[in-house]
Chain A
Amino acid sequence: MTVTTALPTFDEAIAAFEPVMGMEVHVELGTATKMFCGCSTTFGAEPNSQVCPVCLGLPGSLPVVNRVAVESAIRIGLALNCSIAEWCRFARKNYFYPDMPKNFQVSQYDEPIAFDGWMDVTVDAETYRIGIERAHMEEDTGKSLHVGGATGRIHGASHSLLDYNRSGIPLIEIVTKPIEVPPAVAPAVARAYVTELRELIRALGVSEARMELGQLRCDANVSLRKAGDPYGTRTETKNVNSLRSVERAVTFEIRRQAAVLSDGGRIVQETRHWHEDTGETTSGRTKEEAEDYRYFPEPDLVPVAPSREWVDELRGTLPEPPAARRARLQAEWGFTDLEMRDVVNAGAVSLVSATVEAGAPAGGAKKWWLGEIARVANERGVALEDAGIAPADVARVEELIAAGALNDKLARQVVEGVLAGEGGPDVVVSARGLQLVNDDAALGTAVDEAIAAQPDVADKIRGGNLGAVGALIGAVMKATRGQADAKRARELILERLQP
């Protein structure tokens, strides 16, 4: 384990060194079938139930390219302002690993489908242009499950199980050019880049890009140098799989490398593992010799040569860029910059938008998604969209409030009920009996009882002390388990206790 006590603070680290970053993001495409065969890509199926001779790499089997995957790759490339290759090939990346059925991965090497683009990200109202080196297509590997060890890693495990359902799922790998930004914002820019990329992928509709499901995986390369020096040696921290972790992992690597360099040490080019719990990276595979993947053009596939007409047609299908969309929505919703930033950081732009489209006021939509729903999602450790409530449900709750059928307190209970899986808002309202009591007969009885129970308070009110009315309203609310329409209860009390 790394000794952390000696680490400089982030500010100390960047006072001495400039960080340079490079981000590699793998996006699992949401195609119905795999990259090179017709197997389903549905997540969470019985292990090894979605396999065939091709994705198991059985002798004699051959790959056939999934056209939708190529289309998705081109659209991602176009959205990242890349050039699209007129002609490119797949290549074999050769290395042995049990979860790789052919012991080579079909990927792209020196002929990526998309190259040389950019994406703008904004941090603290400053915009930074991130250069995109390339976006290429490849197939995913299977999954190893190491059993019998304490950590779930291969070290210490008694045996391993292999699931090839993921083998052959299409991936797009997006690689940035070196990111050189003011040191103080580097970790935030890294996070903003992944956030923005995720937004873009979702807007394109090519993947749900859910990091917690591994649909978007991030490897962060970091190196340090003295101002004006050439690039230093980099490390690659693998599988940084939440937005928050991206920022933390980059920050940690900057501090760790600064400590090593300040001590006169040198950085080893290596893969590092990110530990969410300790907030540290540790050395991964230490390869005595450099990995040689022996890339060569995949002879089982023909070149991909997208016609310019097709590329232009796909260009016409691109969605509004996320930044422009955000600016438009902010104006439509009337949010301040700060309010909008909260929505963006919560990853709730699309959820709020969908809720507004379903008829809710923007402020109400934001309040629920960033409040009660975020709290529950966080408690359960799931994404907002997985909390168990749909935008339409939230809009319905807002509708019931507007109609006077729910007050804030009851509405919260309704949302709680929906999140607990009790059904839609209307189902929860009737099942839990959460209708607001505002018919005068029922309310009148509660008011009369409250007055009878607190004659002294009643007298004060009769004497003109309207401030005392709250005590009686409280009693009415208590008697109706919070379901009284407070406004109507007040009116009834005042009617009865006229001076």
Chain B
Amino acid sequence: MTLTRKTAAELASSIKSGEVSAVEVTRAHLDRIAEVDGPAESGVHAFLHVDTDSALAAAAVVDQKRADGDELGPLAGVPLALKDVITTADMPTTAGSKLLEGWRPPYDATITRRLREAGIVILGKTNLDEFAMGSSTENSAFGPSRNPWDLTRIPGGSGGGSAASLAAFEAPLAIGTDTGGSIRQPAAVTGTVGVKPTYGGVSRYGLIACASSLDQAGPCARTVLDAALLHSVIAGHDPNDSTSIDQPVPDIVAAARKGADGDLSGLRVGVVKELGGEGYQAGVEARFNDAVALLSKLGAEVVEVSCPHFAYALPAYYLILPSEVSSNLARFDAMRYGLRLGDDGTRSAEEVMSLTRGAGFGAEAKRRIMLGTYALSSGYYDAYYGQAQKVRTLVARDFDAAFAKADVLVSPTTPTTAFPIGEKVDDPLAMYKNDLCTIPSNLAGNASASFPCGLADEDGLPVGLHVMAPVLADDRLYRVGAAVEQAYAAQWGGTLLEQAPALDGRRGESATADRGVVS
């Protein structure tokens, strides 16, 4: 098997045993990126920046450590794709925005530092919707990424670049950030694994904020164990982030290994009745129902739960998020860093700010800044932001009530499979509905994940199983995820991604028509 097809756990073990060097592993992935990522107009376009030299140098350090007989971490030498909203002192960090094009932060995010300390090799920075706002990467100032299952379709968003890099075998690991589903929805539509940890479980220091109270970084991978290994590298308290949780991280790797036994007996699974029905693609519902049946077959007790306030989660989210966005994005004012337009000696600072922001922000960013500015305005605050915070409390209470009846909750991750690029760009509401199932967990701060659960009959595209666990019970996600993963592997004779079309030579054309449909 080629190196790029291996899991992170396999690669780490091969590097540790000396079967292959970290440099060889890194080079294989860099070659794969060179092969399928470009050109930006028609390739996968998962990466905004690839740093060959620094990746090879980081890999060489791991090889040297091994040669010196030093202890290597469980993911040492494994390449990773980092979402370009997390700061790196040695690479540009753009957040997918023209405003930060070419900006080199003077500091590493806590996540970046922890990755480096673990010997993980950062290949480059992945594409995203501008400031992580979107569900398709079409809001990136640098052009969309494409879904490796079908290059005419979106890879999800905002972390479409990270998910696409995994599905295109450009990297075995990636970091995403999830404000309303930006890890889970791309995972679902690319047939990969994405976990949004409990809010505060992974440091936000160095994560360019979209909405501070909702943002959470997390692991993306092709297997549940790989995600767990990566999760344990980046998790844990950070004194630089006041909202980071100062408590021990649950043993997620052990949970992933235990889950792989395929025994879910004693586990109560709640199906959220409000997350399904009208607006959900038939193939998505079919695969979801299969997954529920599978959980039952694996020994879980399946119950139906009701979360009546989830219906208001989307509108509440679209008041809270833009409010925070309008404030968080105020700093992009051309004064200290990033884009500066019109500074010709004739204009005031205010005029330069205004010109720069007007030209620098994309349409979606502007839309959310305006919505948020309005929602926080005096006279409207109580009716909008204040009410939305109350809904947020009610959503959290729905979760509390549901978790009294079930250990985990399940739903489809997204109402539909990957849609064609361009289909929803002019219909923001349709775009927002992608996150119907994922948003409640951001509002409540609990842990959630998406795992591959098959292909929709009508289009042969991946469907995600959404699993939600209580705050700080991230380990339950891995137990459930690993159990279904091994059951599906037995059923499909491998991972879902093995059913994806080969990328080479089919760029830019729909691969759906001639692909065998597997359910």
A302 contacts chain B at the CB level, 8 A cutoff? yes
Contacts of A195 in B (CB 8 A): none
Q: How far is the CB of B122 from chain A (nearest CB, A)?
A: 16
Query: Is the pair B353, A94 in contact by a Cβ cutoff of 8 Å?
Result: no
A57 contacts chain B at the CB level, 8 A cutoff? yes
Cα A59 to Cα B105 in complex, Å, equals 8
Query: Is the pair A60, B205 in contact by a Cβ cutoff of 8 Å?
Result: yes
B393 contacts chain A at the CB level, 8 A cutoff? no
Contacts of B326 in A (CB 8 A): 94, 294
Contacts of A482 in B (CB 8 A): none
Residue of A nearest to B372 (CB): A294
Give residues 153-169 of A contacting B (CB, 8 Å): 160, 162
Given contacts A294-B377, A299-B212, contact A53 B106 (CB under 8 A): yes
Give residues 256-298 of A contacting B (CB, 8 Å): 292, 294-296
Of B332-340, B409-417, B447-455, which stretch is located at the interface? B332-340
> Would you give the 0/1 interface string for A35-65, flagging 1 where the beta carbon is closer than 8 Å to chain B?
0000000000000000001001111111111
Of A76-84, A97-105, A218-226, A321-329, which stretch is located at the interface? A97-105
Given contacts A60-B105, A62-B204, A292-B377, contact A102 B240 (CB under 8 A): no
Contacts of B308 in A (CB 8 A): none
Size bin of chain B's contact surface? 35 or more
Give residues 224-249 of B contacting A (CB, 8 Å): 239-243
Contacts of A160 in B (CB 8 A): 349
Q: How far is the CB of B410 from chain A (nearest CB, A)?
A: 29
Residue of A nearest to B243 (CB): A302
A96 contacts chain B at the CB level, 8 A cutoff? yes
A300 contacts chain B at the CB level, 8 A cutoff? yes
Query: Is the pair B353, A56 in contact by a Cβ cutoff of 8 Å?
Result: no
A75 contacts chain B at the CB level, 8 A cutoff? no
A301 contacts chain B at the CB level, 8 A cutoff? yes
Partner of B331, one of A62, A103, A301: A103
Cα A302 to Cα B244 in complex, Å, equals 10
Query: Is the pair A60, B207 in contact by a Cβ cutoff of 8 Å?
Result: yes
Given contacts A59-B93, A60-B105, A98-B349, contact A300 B212 (CB under 8 A): yes
Cα A384 to Cα B204 in complex, Å, equals 48
Query: Is the pair A59, B330 in contact by a Cβ cutoff of 8 Å?
Result: no
Query: Is the pair B242, A62 in contact by a Cβ cutoff of 8 Å?
Result: yes
Query: Is the pair B208, A294 in contact by a Cβ cutoff of 8 Å?
Result: no
Contacts of B327 in A (CB 8 A): 92, 94, 104, 294, 296
Contacts of A162 in B (CB 8 A): 335
B209 contacts chain A at the CB level, 8 A cutoff? yes
Query: Is the pair B87, A57 in contact by a Cβ cutoff of 8 Å?
Result: no
Residue of A nearest to B214 (CB): A299
Given contacts A53-B106, A94-B376, A96-B350, contact A60 B331 (CB under 8 A): no
B437 contacts chain A at the CB level, 8 A cutoff? no
Contacts of B324 in A (CB 8 A): 296, 299
Cα A59 to Cα B337 in complex, Å, equals 10
Cα A300 to Cα B381 in complex, Å, equals 19
Partner of B336, one of A56, A104, A295, A296: A56
Cα A103 to Cα B87 in complex, Å, equals 21
> Would you give the 0/1 interface string for A86-130, flagging 1 where the beta carbon is closer than 8 Å to chain B?
000000101010100111100000000000000000000000000
Residue of A nearest to B348 (CB): A154
Query: Is the pair B208, A65 in contact by a Cβ cutoff of 8 Å?
Result: no
| A60, A103, A160, A295, most chain B CB atoms within 10 A | A60
B296 contacts chain A at the CB level, 8 A cutoff? no
Q: How far is the CB of A343 from chain B (nearest CB, A)?
A: 46
B100 contacts chain A at the CB level, 8 A cutoff? yes
Cα A92 to Cα B324 in complex, Å, equals 10
Cα A56 to Cα B87 in complex, Å, equals 15
B7 contacts chain A at the CB level, 8 A cutoff? no
Query: Is the pair B242, A60 in contact by a Cβ cutoff of 8 Å?
Result: no
> How many A-B Cβ pairs are below 8 Å?
101
Cα A323 to Cα B216 in complex, Å, equals 53
Query: Is the pair A63, B242 in contact by a Cβ cutoff of 8 Å?
Result: yes
Cα A162 to Cα B223 in complex, Å, equals 50
> Would you give the 0/1 interface string for B38-63, flagging 1 where the beta carbon is closer than 8 Å to chain A?
00000000000000000000000000
Cα A295 to Cα B379 in complex, Å, equals 12
Q: How far is the CB of B412 from chain A (nearest CB, A)?
A: 29
Cα A468 to Cα B159 in complex, Å, equals 104
Main secondary structure of the interface of B (DSSP, over half): loop
Query: Is the pair A59, B242 in contact by a Cβ cutoff of 8 Å?
Result: no
Contacts of A101 in B (CB 8 A): 331, 335-336
Query: Is the pair B209, A60 in contact by a Cβ cutoff of 8 Å?
Result: yes
| B241, B326, B333, most chain A CB atoms within 10 A | B333
> Would you give the 0/1 interface string for A192-232, flagging 1 where the beta carbon is closer than 8 Å to chain B?
00000000000000000000000000000000000000000
Contacts of A294 in B (CB 8 A): 326-327, 373, 376-378, 381
Partner of B242, one of A96, A98, A300: A300
Given contacts A96-B330, A162-B335, contact A58 B106 (CB under 8 A): yes
Give residues 308-337 of B contacting A (CB, 8 Å): 323-324, 326-327, 330-333, 335-337
> Would you give the 0/1 interface string for A143-180, flagging 1 where the beta carbon is closer than 8 Å to chain B?
00000000000000000101000000000000000000
Residue of B nearest to A160 (CB): B349
Partner of A59, one of B87, B239, B241, B243: B87
Query: Is the pair A102, B330 in contact by a Cβ cutoff of 8 Å?
Result: yes
Q: How far is the CB of A232 from chain B (nearest CB, A)?
A: 23
| A58, A94, A301, most chain B CB atoms within 10 A | A58
Contacts of B134 in A (CB 8 A): none
Query: Is the pair A58, B376 in contact by a Cβ cutoff of 8 Å?
Result: no
Query: Is the pair B87, A60 in contact by a Cβ cutoff of 8 Å?
Result: yes
Contacts of B483 in A (CB 8 A): none
Cα A92 to Cα B323 in complex, Å, equals 11
Contacts of A96 in B (CB 8 A): 330, 333, 350, 353
Query: Is the pair B331, A57 in contact by a Cβ cutoff of 8 Å?
Result: yes
Residue of B nearest to A53 (CB): B107
Query: Is the pair B242, A302 in contact by a Cβ cutoff of 8 Å?
Result: yes
Residue of A nearest to B106 (CB): A53
B289 contacts chain A at the CB level, 8 A cutoff? no
B183 contacts chain A at the CB level, 8 A cutoff? no
Query: Is the pair B205, A61 in contact by a Cβ cutoff of 8 Å?
Result: yes
Cα A103 to Cα B350 in complex, Å, equals 12
Residue of A nearest to B204 (CB): A62
Cα A65 to Cα B241 in complex, Å, equals 10
Give residues 376-409 of B contacting A (CB, 8 Å): 376-378, 381, 385
Q: How far is the CB of A293 from chain B (nearest CB, A)?
A: 8
Contacts of B331 in A (CB 8 A): 57, 59, 101-103
Cα A57 to Cα B327 in complex, Å, equals 12
Contacts of A292 in B (CB 8 A): 377-378
Report the 4 A-B pairs with minimum CB-CB distance, sorted nearest first.
A103-B330, A294-B376, A299-B212, A299-B213
26 contacts between A and B (CB under 8 A): A58-B105, A58-B336, A59-B87, A59-B93, A60-B205, A60-B207, A60-B209, A61-B107, A62-B204, A62-B205, A64-B242, A94-B330, A94-B376, A96-B330, A96-B333, A96-B353, A102-B330, A103-B330, A160-B349, A162-B335, A292-B377, A292-B378, A295-B376, A296-B324, A299-B243, A300-B243
With A59-B95, A101-B336 given, can you name 20 additional A-B contacts, CB distance below 8 Å? Answer: A57-B331, A58-B337, A59-B209, A60-B87, A60-B109, A60-B207, A60-B209, A61-B205, A62-B242, A64-B239, A64-B240, A94-B376, A96-B353, A98-B333, A98-B349, A101-B335, A102-B331, A103-B330, A294-B378, A300-B242
Q: Which B residues form the contact surface with A (CB < 8 A)?
A: 86-87, 93, 95, 100, 103, 105-107, 109, 204-209, 211-213, 239-243, 323-324, 326-327, 330-333, 335-337, 349-350, 353, 373, 376-378, 381, 385
Q: Which A residues form the contact surface with B (CB < 8 A)?
A: 53, 56-65, 92, 94, 96, 98, 101-104, 160, 162, 292, 294-296, 299-302
